[in-house]
Every structure is written in C-alpha cells, then in structure tokens.
Structure 1
Amino acid sequence: MSSRHHDSAQDNDQNESTDETLHQGKGRPTPKRREAEARNQRPLIPNDRKEAKARARSEREKARLGMAAGDDRFLPAKEKGPQKRLIRDYVDARWSLGEFMLPVMIIVIVLTFIREPMIVTIYTVGLWVFVAALLIDSFVIGRKARKIAADRFGKDEVEKGLGVYAAMRAIQMRGMRLPKPAVKRGEFDPNRRL
C-alpha cells in the first residue's frame, strides 16, 4: 500500500512539472487581430505601376538575353553546369539528322495531300527510313556525349541524363536552340576551358 502511495506522489510531481512546461509563454502578449492585420497590410499594387511594369520588362529582357548567351545565372536548372555546357558545345559543333526533322515533317505534311499511290508509298517508306536513321543518330550522339563527359570529368562524375540531353538538343534546329550555340560547326574542342 505504501508503494502505491509512493507512485501516486511521483505522478503528481511529474504532472506539476509538465504543467509548468506547458504554461511557459513566449514572453510577450499575443497581438490583437487588428494589430496583426495592420502590420501585414501592404499595397496590392505598387505606387507607380508604369515604373514597376518597365522594371519587370527590363528584368525579363535581361534574363532572356542571359539565357540566350548561356549565362549560368539565368539558365534553368536542367541547363546549368560545366557538363551541360560541354555537351551543348559538342552538339552545336556537329551536323545531325535531327536538325532536319522539322523541314522533313513539313514536306511530308505537304505530300499527304497528293493521293497518288506511288507517291504515298515513297514518302511513307522515306519517312520511316528517316525516323530510323534519326534514332540511330540520336543514340550515337548520346553515347559519344557521355564518353566525352567521362573523359573530361571522370566516369564517376558524369551526370545522369547527359546522353538524352545531347540527343534532345540535336533534334532541335540550330537556330532555335536555347541557349544559343556558342561554337561554330566543326570547332568543338573537348579540352577547351569552360
């Protein structure tokens, strides 16, 4: 019976200590609602809308030009880094079948209006041959890009997805690529300082 009395005394001591920790305040009174709302209130629109609009436009233009130039500060995360820059230079310095995909597709669309069976057969077979060659070219570009990155940065340091990144860039027409090509055709140097 005395052990039961002793346990209840310990429980009371623990309850008092937890009550003290629960009732410790933050050291200042809770602000009234109107005080909190007044503190958080700020104008929804700037005082000078024309100036804010012009500033936002100039910032967007600066970011667009920075991205086109390949400045890492303005590039999206998927385009940043020395490995991506190396791969962009490799892809931009070579010719690839992917660059001709859009013009070929436009020609095929125009040819679909011709109902002559022989012409339909020719452009259908030609399109499939082009697609097969494009897939092979993309595979070769991806493998070569990974090899170049491994030679430059070490096999263990190569980022995932560099081959796909190279293939996707190669499929775009050279003039439509962003960031814009920094090297001319045939001027790729894998040892160039990035």
Structure 2
Amino acid sequence: MFGRSKTTNDQLAEDALAHREGAKNRPTPRRRDQEAARKRPLVVTDRKQARAQDREKRREAMSKARQAMITGDESHLPPRDKGPVRRYIRDHVDARRNLAEFMLPFMLIVLALSFVRTSEILLMVTVLTYGILLTAIADTFLMWRRLRARLVEKFGEEAARTRGNGMYAAMRAFQLRRSRMPRPQVDRGQFPA
C-alpha cells in the first residue's frame, strides 16, 4: 500500500533467489521445534510394541548374518569370523583335503561295528577309533604349522600369535565341507595367495 509496486524485474529476481540450485530454500527451523520432534521416552510405555520392535530388529539382524554366512559378505559376519586373517584361514582350510573332516563318517562305521559283541571286533573298533582320532589330530597340527608360517609371511607375526586362530582353523578342519559356516568360498586346491 505505501511501498512501491514490484516491477517485473523484481519479481523475476525474487523467483530466481527462491529456487536457487543448492540453496536451502526454506527458513531455518527453530531449535525448540527440532528438539520436540526428536524427543522419545527412555522407557517405552507400550511393552508389547517394544517387544515386537525388538524381536523384529533381532530377526532382521539374524537374517543378515545368516545370509552373510552363506555368501561370505564381510560386513554382516559375526565378529568371530570377520577380518582378512580369518578369511585367509577359512580359505586355506577349505582349499585342502583334511583327514579330520572324514572322521565323522568313519566314526559312524565304527559305531555300527561296536554293536557286534565279539572281542576281536571290539578290539578293532578301539584301535580304529584311536587311530582315526590321532591321525586327524596329527594332520590338523601339521596343517596349522604350515598355515601359521603363511600367516606370518602375509600378515606378520602379530596375526599368527592372535589368540584363537589355531582353534578356529582346527574346528573348521574337523567339520564336513558342506556343513561349514561361513560357506567355503574357494574350491579344493585353490589356495589363497
């Protein structure tokens, strides 16, 4: 009313400023409004809903971890399987034929033989059991010594001394190849570089 009327140039300049590329193009929100929007109670009042949300989050995390165990995705693996050293150990164990992985099928045969109650067969069962067990332990020990030397060569002395790596390799060697988790990512004979 008392101001001057806007010209066409003024309107064009105002429109250009209002929709600039990369500009915020809106007023800054007040701090009070932002804090009110972020407020959530520390303890949820609806216990059923909280339990359902927690269950859904756990289910989603378990699903991601399970999928990572199948595909070998490092980002969602459990902490015990994460890292380049553990990946190297898995690939090395999966690339070789371990005597320990065949121990379970042999033990089933030995178990079937143990039902026959003759002294000769019971003696044979005992000898087979201890023989298979000692052979598997010796093979796993030799495998770990070679693997440890490769770990020192590739990752340094610190990686080979990390507690639990030997047991991780041994437990993986004693499992059947098909039942190993995370699933083997290499073929037999395809040792890691």
TM-score of the pair, normalised by structure 1: 0.69
Give the gaps of 5 or more residues in structure 2: 1-40
The CA deviation string for residues 16-75 of structure 1, in whole angstroms up to 9 with x for no partner, is xxxxxxxxxxxxxxxxxxxxxx8744211229x6x9867754543232111222222222
Distance in 1, Cα, partners of 2:75 & 2:159: 22
- Offset of residue 157 of structure 1: 3.9
- Kept in 2, the 8 Å contact 1:142–1:162? The answer is no
- Offset of residue 187 of structure 1: 0.7
Distance in 2, Cα, partners of 1:153 & 1:39: 45
Give the gaps of 5 or more residues in structure 1: 1-37
- 1:36-55 equivalences under 5 Å are 40-46=43-49
Asked whether 1:71 is paired with 2:73, we answer yes
Correspondence for 1:126: 128
Asked whether 1:168 is paired with 2:191, we answer no
- 1:39-188 equivalences under 5 Å are 40-46=43-49, 57-158=59-160, 159-188=162-191
- Kept in 2, the 8 Å contact 1:142–1:164? The answer is no
Correspondence for 2:27: none
Cα RMSD (Å):
2.5
Distance in 2, Cα, partners of 1:175 & 1:62: 20
Distance in 1, Cα, partners of 2:128 & 2:185: 33
Q: Which stretch has the larger CA shift, 177-186 or 96-105?
A: 96-105
Change (3 A) 1:157 1:174: closer
* Count of aligned positions: 152
- Kept in 1, the 8 Å contact 2:92–2:191? The answer is yes
Change (3 A) 1:133 1:44: same
Identical amino acids, percent of aligned pairs: 38
Distance in 1, Cα, partners of 2:100 & 2:58: 36
Distance in 1, Cα, partners of 2:44 & 2:170: 51
Letter paired with 2:98: S
Change (3 A) 1:53 1:161: closer
TM-score of the pair, normalised by structure 2: 0.69
- Kept in 1, the 8 Å contact 2:94–2:186? The answer is yes
Letter paired with 2:170: A
The CA deviation string for residues 118-161 of structure 1, in whole angstroms up to 9 with x for no partner, is 11111211111111111101111111121111110112443233
The CA deviation string for residues 74-102 of structure 1, in whole angstroms up to 9 with x for no partner, is 22222111001001000000001111121
